[in-house]
């Protein structure tokens, strides 16, 4: 096998995202054949002894791609020091591999979240360079006027950088216009960016639902439920970030697509209820919103 960058090997092993793996290398936690490596070092995962904190790294050829509807009151981390329910708690009864969430949904937000051990795909989905858009349905207090909407569309400065939404569209208002629902598409992935957009025009967010991740959509998935992606969905994600799917994945001969799982595993197309599902509302259906699949919002 050809030499690969060590951070890419760690990500492909499902241990962390590539960014997290790079941080481990900077911290001196990664060795190759007994030597601490620096960022940019390469190795052969079949021949070299790659270790993190002294533990040997083993590549798992079984890639998993799980689409979860994260309810409110669940944290998007692998572990939580406060003992709160994590997204991994919801899927662990059916997913034995070590997967990790791609991107973030904050504690009070809900909606679609991808969990995977495909580190390269996760890295590209989260990097602004690849232009993967996220679509949200957002309920805010009151109804922003034209001036507020114009200001919102110009974006705002978050973490020292101006962030501009790709699309902003009014969906509907509630009786007497006490609240309003908006469709917002973003590409930056800054922390709390959608909430900040509306907060800074004086209309705080009351509910936030992620309904799209690049080409991924699922209007039937309920809060706390999850399913394995179908092979076509994995291929769509690969195309969206400029990757070429492995031959096995293209032809459905790998368990990574969920097409040939053993009994008890997650099967593509079959929905499972999380073991600690938390809130039970069902996204845009509970919001009274009807949507047609819109595909990739490029």
b vs e for 199-232, b when ≥16 Cβ sit within 10 Å of the residue's Cβ? Answer: ebbebebebbbbbbbbbbbbeebbbbbbbbbbbe
One domain for residues 137 and 147: yes
Sequence-ordered list of residues with C-beta below 8 angstroms from that of 145, at least 6 positions apart, any chain: none
One domain for residues 279 and 230: yes
Give the CA distances from residue 79 to residues 82, 89, 125, 191, 295, in Å, rounded to whole numbers and listed in that order.
9, 9, 22, 19, 33
One domain for residues 8 and 123: no
The predicted structure's pLDDT at residue 191: 76
298 in a structural domain: no
The predicted structure's pLDDT at residue 65: 95
One domain for residues 23 and 146: no
Q: Which of 106, 118, 148, 218 is catalytic?
A: 106
293 in a structural domain: no
Residue count of the chain: 298
Boundary-marking domain end, from 213, 238, 265: 213
Nearest residue to 48 via CA among 3, 113, 108, 93: 3
Sequence-ordered list of residues with C-beta below 8 angstroms from that of 222, at least 6 positions apart, any chain: 69, 271, 280, 282, 283
Specify the CATH number for the domain of residue 267: 3.30.70.580
How would you list the strands of the sheet with 55-56, edge to edge? 35-36, 30-32, 50-52, 55-56
160 in a structural domain: yes
pTM of the model: 0.75
Q: Domain count of the chain?
A: 3
One domain for residues 88 and 41: no
SS3 string, 76-96, reads: CCCCCCCCCCEHHHHHCCCCC
The predicted structure's pLDDT at residue 283: 52
One domain for residues 229 and 242: yes
One domain for residues 180 and 234: no
One domain for residues 151 and 197: yes
Q: What is the pLDDT along the chain (298 residues), one digit of tens a residue?
A: 578 899 988 887 777 778 889 999 999 999 999 999 999 999 988 788 999 999 998 776 578 999 999 999 999 988 889 999 999 999 998 998 888 899 889 999 999 999 998 888 988 998 888 999 999 999 999 999 999 999 999 999 988 888 999 999 999 999 888 999 999 999 977 778 999 999 999 999 999 999 999 999 999 999 999 999 999 999 999 999 998 875 444 333 333 333 333 334 556 668 888 765 444 454 555 455 544 333 322 2
Residue 53 falls in the annotated catalytic set: no
Boundary-marking domain end, from 164, 180, 213: 213
264 in a structural domain: yes
Specify the CATH number for the domain of residue 27: 3.10.290.10
One domain for residues 101 and 234: yes
Query: Pseudo-torsion of CA 139, 144, 146, 150, nearest 10°?
Result: -70
Boundary-marking domain end, from 166, 197, 213: 213
One domain for residues 114 and 184: no
Specify the CATH number for the domain of residue 163: 3.30.70.1560
Q: Which domain holds residue 191?
A: 133-213
294 in a structural domain: no
């Amino acid at each position: 096998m050809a030499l690969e960058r060590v951070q890419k090997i760690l990500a492909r092993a499902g241990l962390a995202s590539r960014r997290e793996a790079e941080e481990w290398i900077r911290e001196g936690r990664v060795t190759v054949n007994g030597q601490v490596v620096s960022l940019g070092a390469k190795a052969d995962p079949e021949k070299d002894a790659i270790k993190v904190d002294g533990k040997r790294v083993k590549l798992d050829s079984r890639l998993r791609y799980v689409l979860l509807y994260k309810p409110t009151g669940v944290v998007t981390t692998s572990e939580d020091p406060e003992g709160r329910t994590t997204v991994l708690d919801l899927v662990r009864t059916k997913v034995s591999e070590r997967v990790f969430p791609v991107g973030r949904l904050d504690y009070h937000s809900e909606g679609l979240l991808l969990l995977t051990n495909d580190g390269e795909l996760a890295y590209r989905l989260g990097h602004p360079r690849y232009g993967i858009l996220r679509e949200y349905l957002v309920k805010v207090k009151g109804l922003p006027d034209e001036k507020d909407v114009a200001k919102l569309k110009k974006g705002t400065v978050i973490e020292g950088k101006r962030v501009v939404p790709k699309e902003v569209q009014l969906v509907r208002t509630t009786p007497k216009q006490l609240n309003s629902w908006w469709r917002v598409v973003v590409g930056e992935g800054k922390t709390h960016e959608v909430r900040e957009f509306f907060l800074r025009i004086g209309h705080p967010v009351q509910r936030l639902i992620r309904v799209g991740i690049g080409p991924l959509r699922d209007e039937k998935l309920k809060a706390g439920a999850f399913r394995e992606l179908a092979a076509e969905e994995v291929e769509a994600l690969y195309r969206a970030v400029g990757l070429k799917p492995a031959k096995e994945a293209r032809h459905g001969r790998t368990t990574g697509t969920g097409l040939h799982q053993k009994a008890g595993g997650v099967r593509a197309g079959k929905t499972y209820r999380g073991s600690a599902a938390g809130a039970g509302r069902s996204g845009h259906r509970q919001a009274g919103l009807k949507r047609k699949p819109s595909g990739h919002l490029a």
